[in-house]
């Protein structure tokens, strides 16, 4: 049974944030809100958590997982960025974007695209997510909470708790966070390729 955390959207309770971060360190798989929609998240090196995400979403090994980072400095530890791309990404973060970039050695091989050796990264503009990342002190390995056969991600914490109670360890609810996933931009080929048009404005990448 998943623990349920009702977290204030503007002033997250420190005690709740600490409890959530502690559970992640201990191997928990959580559902949590972002600035685009709900996501599944676990610790970077949590192999079991990664397999649980794959099972819930029925993902193959070509799926790009996302490292949700607190800030640009943290993001830079996990991906390689040239100067032109640096400026574009810096101007777009925090925000509702996921960027696909070449992974550094800090990223476990099981998280990288098997052929391209890339990984997704993002910096969310969401108070609760940022509080959790600050407490955790490391990125959160994530994937959009979009269930197989459904066209839109789940948006209500109580519904997630009801439907996924048996496969999650915790649900973080801070109110509705929308249904539109991030805009995904692939920079791994040197030029911006818009893989998915979502919540983020794509005009600066076209």
In tens, the pLDDT along 68-100 reads: 999 999 999 999 998 889 899 999 999 999 999
Does residue 18 register a pLDDT over 90?
Answer: yes
Q: What Rg value do the Cα atoms of the chain yield, rounded?
A: 16
* Closest alpha carbon to 53 in 153, 113, 143, 152: 143
Instruction: Out of 47-51, 108-112, 200-204, give the one with best mean pLDDT.
Output: 47-51
**Residue 118 has which token pair?**
């890339």
Mean pLDDT of 104-115: 88
In tens, the pLDDT along 45-56 reads: 899 999 999 999
The number of folded domains in the chain is: 1
Q: What is the CATH number of the domain that holds 194?
A: 3.90.870.10
Instruction: Out of 108-112, 132-136, 189-193, give the one with best mean pLDDT.
Output: 132-136
Does residue 61 register a pLDDT over 80?
Answer: no
- Position 64 scores a pLDDT of 81
Taking the CA atoms of 121, 126, 128 and 133 in sequence, report the sign of the dihedral they define.
positive
pTM across the whole model: 0.94
| Strand pairing class (66-68; 140-144) | antiparallel
**Residue 71 has which token pair?**
């800030």
Domain with 171 in it: 3-205
Does residue 194 register a pLDDT over 90?
Answer: yes
Q: In terms of pLDDT, which residue wins out, 156 or 4?
A: 4
* Closest alpha carbon to 87 in 105, 69, 99: 99
Does residue 27 register a pLDDT over 80?
Answer: yes
């Amino acid at each position: 049974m998943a623990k349920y955390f009702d977290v204030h959207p503007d002033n997250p309770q420190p005690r709740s944030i600490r409890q959530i971060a502690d559970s992640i360190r201990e191997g928990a798989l959580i559902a949590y809100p972002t600035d685009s929609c709900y996501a599944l998240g676990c610790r970077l090196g949590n192999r079991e958590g990664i397999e649980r995400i794959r099972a819930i979403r029925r993902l193959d090994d070509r799926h790009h997982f996302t490292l949700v980072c607190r800030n640009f400095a943290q993001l830079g530890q996990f991906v390689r960025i040239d100067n032109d791309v640096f400026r574009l990404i810096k101007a777009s973060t925090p925000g509702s974007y996921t960027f696909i970039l070449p992974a550094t050695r800090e990223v476990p091989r099981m998280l990288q695209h098997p052929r391209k050796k890339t990984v997704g990264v993002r910096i969310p503009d969401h108070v609760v997510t940022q509080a959790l990342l600050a407490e955790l002190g490391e990125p959160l390995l994530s994937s959009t909470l979009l269930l197989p056969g459904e066209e839109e991600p789940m948006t209500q914490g109580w519904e997630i708790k009801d439907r996924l109670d048996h496969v999650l360890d915790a649900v973080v609810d801070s109110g509705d966070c929308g249904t539109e996933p991030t805009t995904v931009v692939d920079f791994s080929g040197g030029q911006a390729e818009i893989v998915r048009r979502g919540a983020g404005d794509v005009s600066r990448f076209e």
